[in-house]
Structure formats: structure tokens, C-alpha cells
RNA sequence: GGGUCGGUGGCAGAGCGGUCAAUUGCAUCAGACUGUAAAUCUGACGACAUUAGUCUACGGCGGUUCAAAUCCGUCCCGGCCCA
């Protein structure tokens, strides 16, 4: 299986080999887990969010702390998402929450109601202040069900904003006297919804921006969502979009995804992934379990249908299944969640005990389940890396 | 012994003549979650039936009424107060 490419990236907080998965530590922490928990899962890089950290604890605090790494006391690679996704989904869901213009986005904090303004430049400045190792352009991610016309407009805005981001990025590099060795990597984001031609247009536009500004993007992200309204995996769009991105660049599949989505994306050329699924599903008592250990490598795995929702991955042919530990059938199940798993949960506790923790509503259950799922993802990525 | 308040579905607790198989919460049984406003959200929750619907139900029995969880009588049980 040597037809898969691996890339190595270096940051001031360590190097990474692709493919890798980043859990979402949106507000500077993975819910219920501390750094030691994360370390033991085998997970290294994580994603933090510009929008959330900007609102709370605010940049004043982060700067005083000496940057987000110091604040978190996590000295490994961190990527910050630009906040575009948050601001836009906030306003798309409720137009009263803010206003989008070509120049800027004005929005209200859902928590305090306070008004804030964010621009592409400001997003980049904040991300420099965070001190992250990888950053993402402030983009315009429209819901996939918007009209093609609207998505096309979002593509054009994303390109214009990417240019502003990259110019600001260069400014900050100069101002902060950063070198190629210690500068953060910067990612553009390819929008275009479910339209291949728009994805192509966006990728081309972004490449052109790099040429105009005089700096190549370190990577490109797949923007908006990679599944449609029904949760159907956008196979062709993802494949095509990956092919529009220069080979040497990193390909970051934002928000991807289920284990199956990741395994599908990787051979297409996607290198980096982040998703709330392992931790959120964990908190909700859903645990990932590998099936048929012997049937690997994963590349041999045939996906039966073009698309499936995660809940449907009870499919016997899948390489994993999901159990809902709260279900009454686990009340008296004294086996580990996954007898082949080496995580803290599976090494020490039974399904019956975890069932009890969830029924009791104790956070310990959520913590252990999150650890287990992240360990599942870490092992999955390791297998892909070794393919 | 006297007085008084009360007994409602697994629990708590609404309803106080018809629109009640009965609000709501908890519990229970499932489901959803994909760049985290998510320890969240949704559905089911008397029995039987695929739907229509049928039956049994608001402590027991007996009344009043076209109609009762709701009104009356009585009995049983519980809380509190006075002896």
C-alpha cells in the first residue's frame, strides 16, 4: 500500500506526520479531559476556536497568559479555526444574531448579547495572538442547501477574504519577526457546496490569491459540510475537491468526520481531520468498537453503499460498530467495552459499570467514553499512517 | 374518641361535572448527533390493534346525572391537630 502519500509538517511545537486527527478543544479544552487524558489516548494535535476563545476568556486573558499553549499548558501542535463557521451558522440560524457584509461580520454574543465585529484581518490577528501552530482563513461557509447562486457568492467572498487574510498574515509575520521555522501554517478554505464547478472555481481562485500575494498556502481546507442535509457523504465532491488542490499542499477536511468518512477521505488525498464526533458521541454514551480485527488493512474494506449515516454503521461489513452504553442490555454485561482496546476505560471497567455511570449521570462516564473514542480514532489514524 | 386535610398512572404531583387514557417533572425504553450556543435534542411511555378503534382505569362499594377522577353517602387507609 505504498500508493498513499504521507507528509511531514514541522511547527514550533513539534512535528506531525499525516494523516492525523485533531479533536476539537473548541474553548481550549476537550470536554471532561485533561492533558494527561489526551496524551494517553495517543492524540497529539488539537483544534481550538478563534470565535469561542475571543468571546471567552477573551484575548486579553490569553495574551496575558502568554498564548493559548501556555494558557492550556499544552505544548503540542494546535490549530485554530477561524470562527467563520461559528459566526455564519449563528447568523444563518437566526438573522437577528448579526449582519454579514463584504467588509465585515457584525454579530452578537449568544451568551451576553454583546456586539462584536470580526473581519478577515481581525481573525488572523487573533489567531496570531493565540499563538497557534496552524491557522485557517476567515471564510464564508454557506449551508449546502443554499441556491447555487448564493453559494457562488460565498465562494467569491471566501476568495476575496482569503486574500485579505493572506496579506494580513504576511504583515503579522513581518511585524512579529517570524521565520519559516517558527511561523504558523496557514490554510485557505475551499467552498462551493455540492457543486464541483464552484469547488474548482474556489480552489483556483485561492491558488491565484497565493500567487498575487506572493505566498503559497500551506494547505487548503474542505469548507462547509462534507455531508448533505440527510447526512449523505459527498463522495464525488470530496474526491474532486482534493484533486483541485496542489499536491504538495496539505488537505484539511474540516469537520470530518465519522471513522468511515475519514477512511473514505484519506485515499482521496485528504491529510488532516477534525471532528466533534468522538467526544460528543462519547459524552452521549456512544462508544466505537472495532469489528473483525483480522480483516485489515482498512484499504481492503469495501464500503457497501455510497452513503450511510453513522447510526447505520451497525452494518456487519463495516470495520467498526457503535454501542449505546445506556441501553438496558448492558446493565449486566460485565465484559469490557472492547476487549481489544487498551484505553483506560477498557482496561479497567466493564460495560455494566459504564452503563451505571451513565445512568447515574456522573461525568466520569462521559470522561471515560471520550477517552475510549479518542483512543479509537488515534489507533485508526496510526493504521492509516502505517499503510 | 372528636376535628381536619388527603388517597390520581413506576414515583412525585396537576386536574375538581363533559373537550381526560388524564398537564408537568422524574424514572423507564428507544433514537439523533460530522470546522461543538450540544453532560444536548427528539420520540415512545394503561392494555390490545397496522390504522380506524376497542377495552380497563383516578382507594372500595353504592348513589345523583344524558355525562363523574371531578358531586353525594358510606366503608377502608394515611398525615396533622384536640382529647
Give tens-digit pLDDT for A85-125.
999 999 988 888 899 999 999 999 888 888 999 999 999 99
Contacts of A99 (CB under 8 A, 6+ apart): A91, A105, A106, A107
Pick out the nucleotide with least CA–C1' distance to A278. B34
- Rounded to whole angstroms, the distance from the CA of residue A183 to the C1' of nucleotide B34 is 30
Confidence at residue A182, expressed as pLDDT on a 0 to 100 scale: 94
Q: Give distance CA A360 / C1' B8 (Å).
A: 29
pLDDT value, residue A235:
96
Question: Rounded CA gap, A360 and A377, in Å?
Answer: 27
- pLDDT (tens place) for every residue of chain A, 387 residues total: 445 689 999 999 999 999 999 999 999 999 999 999 999 999 999 999 999 999 999 999 999 999 999 999 999 999 999 999 999 999 988 888 899 999 999 999 888 888 999 999 999 999 999 999 999 999 999 999 999 999 999 999 999 999 999 999 999 999 999 999 999 999 999 999 999 999 999 999 999 999 999 999 999 999 999 999 888 999 999 999 999 999 999 999 999 999 999 999 999 999 999 999 999 999 999 999 998 764 555 655 555 444 444 334 445 668 999 999 999 999 999 999 999 999 999 999 999 999 999 999 999 999 999 999 999 999 999 999 988
Quote the pLDDT of residue A302.
53
Query: Distance in angstroms, CA of A211 to C1' of B33?
Result: 40
State the pTM of this model: 0.93
Q: Where are the beta strands (DSSP E) in chain A?
A: 8-11, 14-17, 20-23, 46-49, 78-81, 98-100, 105-108, 115-118, 134-136, 185-190, 219-222, 250-253, 272-275, 286-290, 320-324
Distance CA A177, CA A157 (A): 30
Which CA-bearing residue is nearest the C1' of B37? A110
Question: How much is the pLDDT for A308?
Answer: 43
Question: What is the pLDDT, as a whole number, of residue A94?
Answer: 86
With b for 16 or more beta-carbon neighbours within 10 A and e for fewer, the A75-94 pattern comes to ebbbbbbbbbbbbbebbeee
Sequence-separated (6 or more) residues with CB below 8 Å from residue A164: A119, A120, A121
Q: Determine the longest span between alpha carbons in chain A, in angstroms.
A: 64
Please state the separation of Cα A206 from the chain's center in Å. Answer: 20
Residues 60-79/A with CB within 7 Å of nucleic chain B are none
A307: helix, coil or strand?
coil
Domains detected in chain A: 8-275 (3.20.20.105), 283-385 (no CATH)
CA of A314 to C1' of B54 (A): 39
pLDDT of residue A348: 98
Q: What pLDDT sits at residue A217?
A: 98
pLDDT (0 to 100) of residue A12? 96
Residue A313 confidence (pLDDT): 44
Q: Which of A269, A206, A258 is nearest to A4 (CA)?
A: A269
Using the CA of A314, which nucleotide's C1' is the nearest one? B31
CB of residue A261 closer than 7 A to nucleic acid strand B? yes
Per-residue model confidence (pLDDT) at position A193: 96
* Residue labelled with grid coordinates 462584536: A116
Catalytic residues of A: 81, 274
Output the distance from A213 CA to B66 C1' rounded to whole Å.
Answer: 88
The C1' atom of B13 and the CA atom of A192 lie apart, in whole Å, by 54
- Residue A207 · residue A243 · CB < 8 Å: no
- C-alpha A52/C-alpha A78 separation (Å) is 15
Does the CB of A253 fall within 7 Å of any strand B atom?
A: no
**Nucleic strand B near CB of residue A277 (< 7 Å):** yes
Cβ proximity of A230 and A251 under 8 Å: no
Q: Are A128 and A82 in contact (CB under 8 A)?
A: no
Q: Which residues in window 152-191 of A are less than 7 A from strand B by Cβ?
A: 189, 191
Please give the radius of gyration of chain A, using alpha carbons only, rounded to the nearest integer.
21
Residues A199 and A191: their CA atoms lie apart, in Å, by: 6
Instruction: List protein-proximal bases of chain B (any atom < 7 A from a CB).
Output: 27-40
A218 CB-to-strand B distance under 7 Å: no
Q: Distances in Å between the alpha carbon of A21 and those of A209, A257, A271, A385?
A: 28, 10, 9, 11
Q: Would you state the pLDDT for residue A301?
A: 55
Question: Could you tell me where the DSSP H helices lie in A245-362?
Answer: 259-265, 277-283, 344-348, 351-359
Contact A285, A38 (CB under 8 A): no
Contact A319, A245 (CB under 8 A): no
Residues in A 224-243 whose C-beta is less than 7 A from nucleic strand B are 224-227, 231, 233
Q: Which residue has the cell 511531514?
A: A8
| Region for residue A29 given its phi and psi (left: phi exceeds 0; alpha: psi -120 to 50; beta: otherwise) | beta
The whole-number Å distance from A82's CA to B59's C1' is 65
Q: Which nucleotide is nearest to A89 (CA to C1')?
A: B37
CA atoms lying within 13 Å on the CB side of residue A126: 30
Which nucleotide's C1' is closest to A223 (Cα)?
B35
Which residues of chain A between 367 and 386 are close to nucleic strand B, CB under 7 A?
A: none
Q: Residue A321 CB closer than 7 angstroms to strand B?
A: no
CA distances (Å), origin A169, targets A127, A128, A243: 10, 9, 26
Amino acid at each position: 500500500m505504498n500508493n498513499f502519500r504521507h507528509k511531514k509538517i514541522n511547527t514550533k511545537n513539534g512535528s506531525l506526520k499525516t494523516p492525523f486527527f485533531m479533536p476539537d478543544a473548541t474553548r481550549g479544552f476537550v470536554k471532561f479531559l485533561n492533558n494527561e487524558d489526551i496524551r494517553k489516548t495517543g492524540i497529539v494535535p488539537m483544534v481550538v476556536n478563534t470565535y469561542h476563545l475571543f468571546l471567552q476568556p477573551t484575548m486579553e486573558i490569553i495574551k496575558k497568559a502568554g498564548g493559548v499553549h501556555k494558557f492550556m499548558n499544552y505544548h503540542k501542535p494546535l490549530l485554530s479555526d477561524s470562527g467563520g463557521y461559528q459566526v455564519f451558522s449563528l447568523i444563518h440560524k437566526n438573522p437577528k444574531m448579526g449582519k454579514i457584509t463584504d467588509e465585515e461580520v457584525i454579530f452578537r454574543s449568544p451568551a451576553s448579547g454583546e456586539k462584536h465585529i470580526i473581519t478577515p484581518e481581525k481573525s488572523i490577528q487573533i489567531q496570531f495572538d493565540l499563538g497557534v501552530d496552524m491557522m485557517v482563513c476567515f471564510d464564508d461557509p454557506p449551508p449546502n442547501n443554499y441556491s447555487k447562486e448564493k453559494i457562488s457568492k460565498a465562494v467569491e467572498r471566501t476568495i476575496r477574504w482569503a486574500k485579505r487574510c493572506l496579506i494580513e498574515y504576511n504583515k503579522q509575520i513581518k511585524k512579529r519577526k517570524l521565520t519559516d521555522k517558527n511561523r504558523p501554517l496557514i490554510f485557505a478554505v475551499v467552498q462551493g457546496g455540492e457543486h464541483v464547478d464552484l469547488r474548482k472555481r474556489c480552489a483556483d481562485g485561492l491558488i491565484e490569491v497565493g500567487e498575487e500575494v506572493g505566498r503559497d498556502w500551506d494547505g487548503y481546507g474542505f469548507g462547509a459540510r462534507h455531508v448533505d442535509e440527510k447526512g449523505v457523504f459527498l463522495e464525488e465532491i470530496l474526491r474532486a475537491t482534493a484533486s483541485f488542490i496542489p499536491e504538495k499542499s496539505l488537505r484539511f477536511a474540516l469537520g470530518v468526520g465519522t471513522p468511515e468518512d475519514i477512511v473514505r477521505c484519506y485515499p482521496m488525498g485528504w491529510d488532516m481531520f477534525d471532528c466533534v464526533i468522538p467526544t460528543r458521541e462519547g459524552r452521549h454514551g456512544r462508544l466505537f468498537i472495532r469489528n473483525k480485527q483480522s480483516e485489515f488493512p482498512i484499504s481492503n474494506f469495501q464500503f457497501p453503499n455510497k452513503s450511510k449515516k453513522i447510526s447505520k454503521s451497525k452494518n456487519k461489513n463495516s470495520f467498526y460498530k457503535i454501542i449505546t452504553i445506556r441501553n438496558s442490555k448492558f446493565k449486566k454485561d460485565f465484559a469490557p467495552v472492547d476487549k481489544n482496546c487498551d484505553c483506560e476505560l477498557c482496561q479497567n471497567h466493564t460495560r455494566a459499570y459504564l452503563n451505571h455511570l451513565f445512568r447515574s449521570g456522573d461525568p466520569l462516564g462521559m470522561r471515560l467514553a471520550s477517552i475510549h473514542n479518542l483512543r479509537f480514532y488515534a489507533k485508526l489514524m496510526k493504521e492509516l499512517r502505517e499503510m
